[in-house]
Amino acid sequence: MENEDQTERIDRYLDDALTTEEKLAFDNEMATNPEFRLEVEAQEAVRELISSQAEKEGLRTLFATFHAELETAAAMDDQQHGNADLLEKKKGIQRKLQWGNWSYTAIAASVAILIIGVWTVWNNQKTTGTGEPNGQEIRVDERNEVFRIPLLSWKTVDFKPVVQEKRMIDATIIRSKTYHSHYRFTDILEIYSDTLTEKQQKISIAYDVETKQYRIHIGDSSYPIRKTDEITPLTQP
């Protein structure tokens, strides 16, 4: 190519490195020669594109590292809390549901109906209102009666809530003729509701380390709860 000097001259202009005289001549040439002006614009655009591509490449590498760390942490978390422990817990819940008194048999039947209901709704790809405040879906594992929700322990640091620990706990939604908007909270969380069936609802539990209080978040609503073996109403204070 013929214009080695031209490339460097344009670079010096774009880097603001020309002398006053050189810059004056350069500006004059740009004003009178549209072809030259286009050359300058093109070089500027190429420089910007190359820098932008390189920046994106750097970020992509960084994100890949973060993601790998995230996956490693999740795998370690699983290991720490123990898959065996989780399986044991699930088995325990299933045992309770299978071999307990009549009410547990009824609960299991209700959950099965619930799963079939949700499956049918998903299969038909319909979205039906639930009557809940924000009308979202409840999450149910199709394979068994148990699904998992996050339990976030937090405390206030510098007037800002800071998460101390995040772990997942087992939860189940139970349809009951007797109880509506109730819960029982031991190692697992049972939610008694006959309306949360068709749309997904984000459910989580927050635990304030300082006040030692639990709060369940269901969509946009939240209720204080406590560890209890009794079926207790979900109520706002």
Partner 1 sequence: MITEIGSPDFPLIQAIKNGNEKALGLFYKDNFGKILHLVLKNSGSDDDARDVYQDCMMEIVLQIRGGRLDQLSSRLSTYLYSVCYYKWIDRLRQKGKQMQTGFDDDLDTAVIEEDDSPPYLPALEKVLAQIGEKCMMLLKAFYYEKLTMTEIASKLGFADDNSAKSQKNKCMDKARFLGKNVLKQHYS
Evaluate whether 234 touches 179 at the Cβ level (below 8 Å): no
CA angle 47, 51, 53 (to 5 degrees): 115
Amino acid type, 46? V
Binding mask 106-125 for partner 1 (x = CB under 8 A): -------------------x
φ/ψ (deg, to 5) at 236: -80, 145
220 interacts with partner 1 by CB under 8 A = yes
Token couple for 190 = 């049972």
**Residue 209 CB contacts under 8 Å (≥ 6 apart), including other chains:** 153, 154, 155, 164
Whose Cβ is closer to partner 1: residue 24's or residue 50's?
50
Instruction: Judge residue 58's burial from the number of C-beta atoms within 10 Å of its C-beta, 0-12 exposed, 13-18 middle, 19 or more buried.
Output: exposed
Contact stretch for partner 1 (CB under 8 A) within 84-92, 97-105, 159-167, 188-196: 159-167
217 beta partners: 204, 222
154 interacts with partner 1 by CB under 8 A = yes
Whose Cβ is closer to partner 1: residue 184's or residue 199's?
199
CB of 232 to partner 1, least distance (A): 22
CA angle 216, 198, 132 (to 5 degrees): 50
CA dihedral for 159, 161, 165, 171, sign (positive or negative)? positive
CB of 35 to partner 1, least distance (A): 8
209 interacts with partner 1 by CB under 8 A = no
6 interacts with partner 1 by CB under 8 A = yes
Evaluate whether 67 touches 77 at the Cβ level (below 8 Å): no
Distance between CA atoms of residues 12 and 87, nearest Å: 67
CB of 41 to partner 1, least distance (A): 6
Evaluate whether 204 touches 152 at the Cβ level (below 8 Å): yes
Whose Cβ is closer to partner 1: residue 58's or residue 100's?
58
Q: Judged by CB under 8 A, which of 143, 160, 177, 212 binds partner 1?
A: 160
Whose Cβ is closer to partner 1: residue 42's or residue 109's?
42
* Residues numbered 35-94 forming contacts with partner 1, rule: CB under 8 A: 38-39, 41-43, 45-47, 49-51, 53-56, 59-60, 62-63, 65-67, 69-70, 73
Q: Judged by CB under 8 A, which of 18, 30, 106, 152 binds partner 1?
A: 152
Residues found near partner 1 in the complex (CB under 8 A): 1-4, 6-8, 10-11, 38-39, 41-43, 45-47, 49-51, 53-56, 59-60, 62-63, 65-67, 69-70, 73, 125, 127, 134, 136-137, 152, 154, 159-163, 199-200, 202, 204, 206, 217, 220
